[in-house]
């Protein structure tokens, strides 16, 4: 690999990503390939921290892999793989678990949220989820981790774990930096704009899926919750409009001032329609490319097999050094 900074990021295999996943993370993954060495993975091992239907998980993992490619990740430029194919993640996870405190994991807001949502299955994997995420990143000694704001706390923990390991065993891990964009790092629900947009929302109108067709996207935006005044401007308290402006801005590249003047004197209906159309048109090529790639299972298989080989080769070097550092006996 060339001598550039290393980027690592991952995404859960929900099959089709939300507009939040896309704007907050995935749409940047393609352009980053030109500036950095990039490693991206579909985190199927994280996915099983909540109950999954095995048939659907397999399908969703394949779809997520193809969708990342459709969104611009090029397996020739990046290492793109499926987490469970690369055993070093699980191996390093164990060591990092032994360097992570119960108290630290208990404070994770995502753990608290998910254990409230699934009170009948608060399993140990859900609890140690951030340690596996730290292993994903540290197995490559990544410098930068592009994510949305909701992952910031997990990343801070990953840095703390790395720092603790370095103190105990001597400097080894790079401390990964979060790479969070200013606009669009938290796309909100279209129905409750104080809440993050998420696929787990029960109201299907709250969330745009990037494989939704044009009519569905426009319909969901038309139903977006706004406020009772009629001015299209970015201001505190106008959560719904702020969210729509953020989405429109990230998709069209226009700044807030330009959007305000474009829609001066126009109504919310016009604005919602414009946002819907811009998003649907922007995502059209992603949908087309996804359909093309999904039909070519052989090619996908070749890509994820090669991706896993490269990821294993890279991370094995690092993880075997970690094994030595903690005092494990060399096997050969
Ligand atoms: P996941 O699969 O929930 O989300 C993938 C990426 O999408 C971002 N995101 C959002 N950004 C803006 N607005 C939203 N509404 C929104 N919803 C999601 C997330 O911040 C994330 O960047 N634990 C991770 C996956 C992971 C990972 C890693 C990430 C596993 N190992 C190592 C980075 C590095 C997760 O569940 O993301």
Q: What is the pLDDT of residues 84-141, one digit of tens each?
A: 999 999 999 999 999 999 999 999 999 999 999 889 999 999 999 999 999 999 999 9
Residue 25 pLDDT class (50, 70, 90 cuts): very high
Distance, in Å, from the CA atom of 141 to the CA atom of 5, rounded to the nearest integer, reads 10
**For residue 26, how far is its CA from the centre of ligand 1 (angstroms)?**
9
Can 5 be counted among the known catalytic residues? no
State phi, psi for 14 to the nearest 5 degrees.
-90, 5
Q: How confident is the model at residue 202 (pLDDT cuts 50, 70, 90)?
A: confident
Res 70 pLDDT > 80: yes
Atom of ligand 1 nearest to the CA of 196: 15
pLDDT digits (tens, 9 = 90+) for 272-297: 999 999 999 999 999 999 999 999 99
Return the ligand 1 atom nearest residue 22 CA. Answer: 7
Contacts of 12 (CB under 8 A, 6+ apart): 42, 43, 46, 47, 64
- At 66, which helix (H) or strand (E)? helix 54-70
pLDDT tens for each residue of 207-244: 999 999 999 999 999 999 999 888 999 999 999 999 99
Specify the DSSP class assigned to residue 196: B
Note the pLDDT of residue 15. Answer: 81
Q: Is the CB of 148 under 6 A from ligand 1?
A: yes
Residue 307: closest CA among 10, 2, 3: 10
Bin 278: left if φ > 0, else alpha if -120 < ψ < 50, else beta: alpha
Q: How does pLDDT run across 126-185, given as a tens digit for each residue?
A: 999 999 999 999 999 999 999 999 999 999 999 999 999 999 999 999 999 999 999 999
pLDDT on residue 332: 85
With CA atoms as reference, report the closest residue to 155 among 169, 144, 164, 141. 144
DSSP conformational letter for 22: I
Rounded to whole angstroms, what are the CA distances from 214 to 208, 271, 287, 293? 11, 16, 10, 20
- Whole-model pTM: value is 0.97
**C-alpha distances out from residue 68 to 122, 206, 212, Å:** 30, 23, 16
């Amino acid at each position: 690999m060339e001598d550039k900074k290393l980027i690592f990021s991952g995404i859960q295999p929900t099959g089709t990503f939300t507009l939040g996943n896309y704007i907050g993370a995935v749409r940047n993954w393609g352009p980053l390939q030109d500036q950095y060495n990039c490693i991206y993975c579909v985190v199927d091992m994280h996915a099983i921290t909540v109950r999954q239907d095995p048939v659907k998980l397999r399908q969703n993992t394949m779809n997520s892999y193809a969708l990342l490619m459709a969104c611009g990740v090029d397996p020739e430029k990046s290492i793109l793989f499926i987490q469970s194919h690369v055993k070093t993640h699980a191996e390093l996870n164990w060591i990092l678990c032994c360097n992570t405190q119960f108290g630290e994991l208990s404070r994770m807001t995502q753990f608290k949220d998910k254990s409230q949502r699934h009170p009948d299955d608060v399993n140990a994997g859900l609890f140690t989820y951030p340690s596996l995420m730290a292993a994903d990143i540290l197995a490559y000694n990544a410098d930068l981790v592009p994510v949305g704001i909701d992952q910031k706390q997990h990343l801070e923990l990953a840095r703390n774990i790395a720092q603790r390991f370095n103190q105990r065993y001597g400097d080894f891990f790079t401390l990964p930096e979060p790479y969070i964009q200013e606009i669009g790092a938290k796309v909100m629900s279209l129905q409750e704009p104080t809440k993050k947009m998420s696929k787990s929302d029960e109201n299907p109108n709250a969330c745009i899926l990037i494989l939704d067709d044009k009519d569905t996207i426009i319909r969901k935006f038309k139903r977006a919750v706004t406020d009772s005044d009629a001015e299209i401007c970015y201001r505190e308290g106008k959560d719904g409009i702020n969210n729509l402006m953020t989405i429109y801005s990230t998709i069209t590249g226009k700044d807030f001032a330009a959007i305000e003047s474009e829609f001066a004197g126009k109504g919310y209906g016009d604005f919602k329609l414009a946002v819907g159309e811009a998003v649907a048109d922007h995502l059209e090529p992603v949908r087309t490319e996804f359909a093309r790639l999904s039909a070519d299972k052989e090619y996908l298989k070749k890509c994820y097999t090669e991706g896993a080989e490269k990821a294993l080769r890279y991370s094995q070097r690092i993880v075997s050094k970690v094994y030595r550092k903690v005092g494990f006996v060399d096997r050969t």
